[in-house]
Structure 1
Amino acid sequence: MSRFVQALAAMLPLACAGGLAACVDQAAGGGSGSRDQITAVGSSTVYPFTTIVAERYLADTPQARPPVIESTGTGAGIKLFCAGVGAAHPDIGDASRRLRRAEYDECARHGVTAVLEVQIGIDGIAFAEALEGPRMALTPADIYRALAAAPFGRRNAARTWRDVNPALPAIPIQVYGPPATSGTRDALAELIMARGCEAVEPDTLELHERDPDAFAARCQRLREDGAYVDAGENDNLIVQKLRSNPDALGIFGYGYLEQNAGVVRGVTLNGVAPNYATIASGSYPGARPLYIYVKKAHLRAIPGLRAFLRQYAALWGTDGPLVRRGLIAAPIAVQRRSAAIIANEIALDPRELR
């Protein structure tokens, strides 16, 4: 892993002698080389999987320079990815949610028009507690009542879990989770908070369709009074906080839950525990797809990028190292479609996006 740190410190030295403008022209026009180093930014959830692929790529291509993989969060990573084509801009965007149409349009405004969308697998948003914690069992409705800024249109005054559900323990509501730039935070809002809101406030079902912004403000905005704690993009830090505060809960991707099974355990949602089988089947409420986005122009310009993507496809199967690290393998049909997108360099149709 130190090779990645060293590479990051090098700050992307350029391989071409003509300067940045020439490199950009080469990438935009399909030149033979603009930078001799693959770069990826984005999701902290996808980060460990992309680093494993990078390690395997280096093992198979020892003459290559170490790829630079940065954990910036999905939202921040997409902004960096969409900022332009060329050596100054990343080749790959890791994402724990799908690209939005508005984000694609922003990409297009900066010349990023041909993008490969590759689903690498599935993940679950895991609510976790320390092994010595209170053995919580929650529902999306409980989480909505506990974490929404204004449940039922009123400022959230709940201080303990018992305040939101008499069956829960009378311990303070304190949840460590991802920041607003995180795809995990977006998925929390869409998969858990929205469902909980609609379950207890049926009138919001119509609001969701009629006025998405009003729905987001009513149902998905998190409280900012200390009950929900923005813990940044470092999921390992959340695990550490749970160890020091056993009554607290944490939110991160399933991979981190599995990696730290000796320290934390998953909290059930609607009676379903977050594990490989429940996430793969979709029975766990927090299941979600994971993606990488790749600039097609960079496939022609960045040495090794095509081989890097082929390496990804070779490792995401059920018995592969990414699954051993915590990825949930996608159904075979999805794997084949993703492999075909890589092999045939099929660009995303923006009409599929919302």
Structure 2
Amino acid sequence: MMKTLTGLCAAVALLGGAGSAHAARDYVWAAGSSTVFPFATRVAENYARKSGMKAPNVEALGTGGGIKLFCSGVGDNFPDIANASRPMTQQEYDTCAANGVTDIVELKVGYDGIVIAADRSAPDYQFRLPHLYLALGANVLRGGKFVPNPYTNWNEIGPGLPNNRILVYGPPPTSGTRDAFVELGIEASARTYPTAAALRDRDQDEFKQMTHPLRREGWVDSGENDNAIVQTLTKTPGSLGVFGYSFLEENGDKVKAMSIDGIAPTVATIAQGTYPLSRSIFIYVKKAHVGVTLGLQEFTTEFTSDAATGRGGYLQSRGLIPLLPPEHEAVKAAAANMTTMSRPN
């Protein structure tokens, strides 16, 4: 009896926080990536239907915003899960640890690609990777020196590109899609230029300061709602949009994706990593909440199940590109055992 009371008091203290005494939440709370959002909401619906329990609360705050809230502390005022379209960084992990979030379970749930898309009636843009930095970087190289971006039209960037003004709608800085686009698109594009590559070898911080910022005119931050970007493309002739592959799948009747270096984003090219803007997507689970937040273990099990994220699972029809079977089995085992991650490299 004493052990039972001790465990109950610990749970109340854990989820109530200092100076409060209320019961643990009876629903799972997940926050983060807008790319992971449609997958997480579908899992939440199926979990609630199968279990008869409350559907989890899933919020689209962007990867950075979700991880920041997740790492802010332990208890029912903080999410159980952070949804992420990029890996957690060292700095984020250290912030978690400083706030008492010390046991984190990292679960890769699939792959996604970042697409550059336009309305279906738009011309095809045959992008090469170097075009992305020249078109969208705030500072670009001319004559071996970094200068404020002078380009206004796509045909100034490379031969064969349309004579349309550079206007790209994309995610804000809090978004994992933005982080991944800058890393996989802009940074990789900049490194194709010898001057930028030499700067990166000499001073990575200065390289990022010069190449990571996106231009103020030509790039438009469009919030965390990728569906809003899709709608904007259909109403703004000549514009392009940057968002996750899953939204391309859902809106293939309205928009089309552009190839990069001759490779179009498809399930096969993203899973194989041959499409230049391919990435992995994750959920991060707060182990301290397992057994306290009602249904957290069960929801995590559903998210990593064959039925959800396995090949032919119901998330594949929503645009998720599944892991290869051996990797998926390892993720299922990590979810079942709540195996905690190490500090990122």
- TM-score when normalising by structure 2: 0.92
Q: Which residue of 2 aligns with 1:9?
A: none
In structure 2, what is the Cα distance between the partners aligned to 1:269 and 1:92?
A: 34
**RMSD after superposition:** 2.0
2:59 counterpart (70, 73, 76): 70
1:115 aligns with 2:108: no
1:52 aligns with 2:45: no
Q: Which residue of 1 aligns with 2:197?
A: 205
The count of aligned residue pairs is: 329
Q: Which residue of 2 aligns with 1:335?
A: 328
In structure 1, what is the Cα distance between the partners aligned to 2:249 and 2:152?
A: 30
In structure 1, what is the Cα distance between the partners aligned to 2:125 and 2:254?
A: 16
Q: Which residue identity is paired with 2:177?
A: T
Q: Which residue identity is paired with 2:76?
A: A
- Residue aligned with 1:229, SS: strand
In structure 1, what is the Cα distance between the partners aligned to 2:166 and 2:310?
A: 39
TM-fit CA distance, 1:214: 1.1
- Residue aligned with 1:307, SS: helix
1:156 counterpart (149, 152, 166): 149
- Residue aligned with 1:171, SS: coil
1:177 counterpart (170, 183, 186): 170
TM-fit CA distance, 1:188: 0.6
Q: Which residue of 1 aligns with 2:4?
A: none
Q: Which residue of 1 aligns with 2:207?
A: 215
Alignment check: 8 A CA contact 2:15 2:77 kept: no
Alignment check: 8 A CA contact 1:27 1:297 kept: no
Change (3 A) 1:210 1:103: farther
1:193 aligns with 2:183: no
- Residue aligned with 1:167, SS: coil
Q: Deviations over 1:193-252 (max 9, x none)?
A: 1111111x2233343344222111222210112x00001101011001110113111000
Alignment check: 8 A CA contact 1:75 1:182 kept: yes
Q: Which residue of 2 aligns with 1:239?
A: 230
- TM-score when normalising by structure 1: 0.89
Q: Deviations over 1:126-177 (max 9, x none)?
A: 1111100111111221111000000111000100001111321111000000
In structure 2, what is the Cα distance between the partners aligned to 1:207 and 1:95?
A: 30
Q: Deviations over 1:61-90 (max 9, x none)?
A: 11x122110000000111000000011100
Q: Which residue of 2 aligns with 1:127?
A: 116
Q: Deviations over 1:292-317 (max 9, x none)?
A: 00000011211111110110112101
Alignment check: 8 A CA contact 2:171 2:221 kept: yes
In structure 2, what is the Cα distance between the partners aligned to 1:212 and 1:294?
A: 31
TM-fit CA distance, 1:340: 1.2
1:294 aligns with 2:282: no
Gaps of 5+ in 2: 1-7
In structure 2, what is the Cα distance between the partners aligned to 1:242 and 1:85?
A: 41
Alignment check: 8 A CA contact 1:23 1:87 kept: no
Alignment check: 8 A CA contact 1:180 1:186 kept: yes
Q: Which residue of 2 aligns with 1:224?
A: 216
In structure 2, what is the Cα distance between the partners aligned to 1:81 and 1:135?
A: 41
Alignment check: 8 A CA contact 2:260 2:276 kept: yes
